[in-house]
């Protein structure tokens, strides 16, 4: 049985396998930093087209976003987990941000994930 204070991080989408461990570690650190325990968070990596379609469908906005957030719940389920929802990151925008502004890749991701989690908690 899972301990009630453990967080669950689900990663979906095409991300370099070599980066997955680091990405998971960053997300887990953000959850702890934000004081979130017993939560499940899904982070989904999509391309330009997928991000634009999601933004059009769910927000009626006609542009490619960096980050989208789709909340699920703020209450604990029967298994004592709070399923926060999905944070969607546009990989193409992420790479563009790094290249154009000469920023550190994981630092950009950290900012965007944190932003998405804050939106889930609103």
* Residue 48 located in a structural domain: yes
- Residue 9 tokens read as 């991080």
pTM: 0.92
Q: Is 3 contained in some domain?
A: no
| Of residues 111 and 4, more confidently modeled | 111
Helix then strand then coil, % of the chain, to nearest 5: 45, 25, 30
Structural domains of the chain, count: 1
Helix boundaries (H) for 7-104:
17-33, 48-59, 91-101
pLDDT surpasses 90 at 15: no
Let me know: does 93 contact 52? Beta carbons within 8 Å. no
Give the CATH number of the domain where residue 63 resides.
Answer: 3.40.390.30
In a domain, 32, yes or no: yes
- Residue 39 covered by a domain: yes
Determine, yes or no, domain membership for 1: no
Per-residue pLDDT tens for 36-67? Answer: 999 999 999 999 999 999 999 999 999 999 99
Domain membership of residue 77 as a residue range: 8-121
Residue 103 covered by a domain: yes
């Amino acid at each position: 049985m899972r301990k009630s204070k453990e967080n669950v991080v689900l990663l979906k989408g095409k991300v370099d396998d070599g980066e997955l461990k680091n990405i998971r570690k960053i997300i887990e650190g953000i959850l702890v930093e934000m004081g979130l325990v017993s939560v499940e968070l899904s982070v989904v990596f999509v391309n330009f087209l997928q991000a634009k379609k999601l933004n059009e469908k769910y927000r009626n906005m006609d542009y490619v976003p960096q980050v989208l957030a789709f909340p699920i719940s703020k209450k604990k389920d029967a298994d004592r987990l709070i399923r926060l929802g999905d944070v969607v990151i546009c990989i193409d925008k992420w790479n563009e941000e790094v290249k154009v502004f000469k920023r550190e890749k994981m630092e950009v991701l950290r900012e965007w994930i944190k932003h998405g989690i804050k939106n889930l908690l609103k």
